[in-house]
Amino acid sequence: MKTKKIIHAAGKFAEPFRVEKGKRFRLKDVDPGDTLEFKDADKPRAKEALAVGVQALAELQDRLYAQDKWAVLLIFQAMDAAGKDGAIKHVMSGINPQGCQVFSFKAPSAEDLDHDYLWRCMKVLPNRGHIGIFNRSYYEETLVVRVHPEFLAKQKLPSELVTKKIWKERFEDIRNFEQYLTRNGVVVRKFFLHVSKKEQKRRFLERIDNAEKNWKFSANDAAEREHWDDYMEAYEEMIQSTASEEAPWYVVPADNKWFTRLVVAAAVIETLASLGLNYPEVGEAKIKELAAAKRALLKK
């Protein structure tokens, strides 16, 4: 399949999961087990499609790197065990490591807490020509911090700034920040991997029963399930409040990892293709220089 055909197919495939400003969105309307027209029997075909997509993505990323004008920021948010790590690993498997930066954001450090909440993310934004990947991000400040108010209390904010409006204010700040990035050539795409509570439980049990996956499990992960409904409400309002035409959210069904990866790949391919990426044109002086170099090499 040629790259142009892949790009066309990617756009159609990613569209159902894209949330922009003004688009009606309710999290309950998204089935975590949705696989569109694919069935379990189609897994081999889906994996083949992903492999082809990874090749197309590698070609587009090479042009992005060579052109050195745009930067792309991919943000991944999800409940634990939704498959963020696997999606990043598989979708980006063909990317040149020199043109990709991945950062995971855990609990903020003491240094982080001495700065505004955007600081630790701002200092690792991708360079031009690069794809930057945030495994969790500044959006945690409207999710886990909202579900656990005690975390907000540790942020050393002046008490008069912590009002009932703080979440709306943070949504506004994030929208403005992402608009600023867009206006400076940083293309932002955001992915919420939507896993069901039932599938998360199955994956947790698998991590406990499989010795090779024990390292992935934390008792705190299971404890957070007690706040499931609070998280779903927080995610829904976050997506509604920060989705924009320039920086849309993709709410990706995550109960089937093979399908999740296919949707993410399609969205990234569509994004890169929309930038009109090309290799830098060589001027007349450079062409003469190349011709001279070729003649010199052939003489030897």
DSSP, collapsed to helix, strand or coil, labels residue 208 as helix
Residue pLDDT, tens place only, 168-191: 999 999 999 999 999 999 999 999
84: buried, middle or exposed (CB in 10 Å: 19+, 13-18, 0-12)? buried
* Residue 1 scores a pLDDT above 70: no
208 vs 42 pLDDT, higher one: 208
- Assign 277 a pLDDT band (cuts: 50, 70, 90): very high
* Residue 4 scores a pLDDT above 80: no
How far is Cα 73 from Cα 188, in angstroms, rounded to an integer? 5
Residue pLDDT, tens place only, 105-153: 999 999 999 999 999 999 999 999 999 999 999 999 999 999 999 999 9
Mean pLDDT of 88-104: 94
For each of the domains in the chain, give its residue range(s) and CATH number, in order of start.
3-299 (3.40.50.300)
Mean pLDDT of 22-28: 88
- Assign 264 a pLDDT band (cuts: 50, 70, 90): very high
Mean pLDDT of 261-281: 95
End-to-end CA distance of the chain: 41
* Residue 39 scores a pLDDT above 90: no
Mean pLDDT of 200-229: 92
Which pLDDT score is estimated for 299?
87
Residue pLDDT, tens place only, 140-168: 999 999 999 999 998 999 999 999 999 99
HSE of 184, CA atoms in CB hemisphere, 13 A: 11
* Residue 214 scores a pLDDT above 50: yes
Query: Could you tell me the pTM of the whole model?
Result: 0.94
How far is Cα 29 from Cα 126, in angstroms, rounded to an integer? 33
Pick from 9-18, 40-49, 98-107 the range whose average pLDDT is largest: 98-107
- Assign 3 a pLDDT band (cuts: 50, 70, 90): low
DSSP, collapsed to helix, strand or coil, labels residue 158 as coil
Mean pLDDT of 29-46: 89
CB 269 within 8 A of CB 56: yes
What pairing do the DSSP bridges indicate for beta strands 249-253 and 18-19? antiparallel
How far is Cα 251 from Cα 78, in angstroms, rounded to an integer? 10
For the beta sheet containing 249-253, the strands, ordered from the edge strand earlier in sequence to the opposite edge, are: 18-19, 249-253, 186-194, 71-78, 131-135, 100-104
Which pLDDT score is estimated for 11?
76
How far is Cα 208 from Cα 155, in angstroms, rounded to an integer? 34
Which pLDDT score is estimated for 286?
84
Mean pLDDT of 200-228: 92
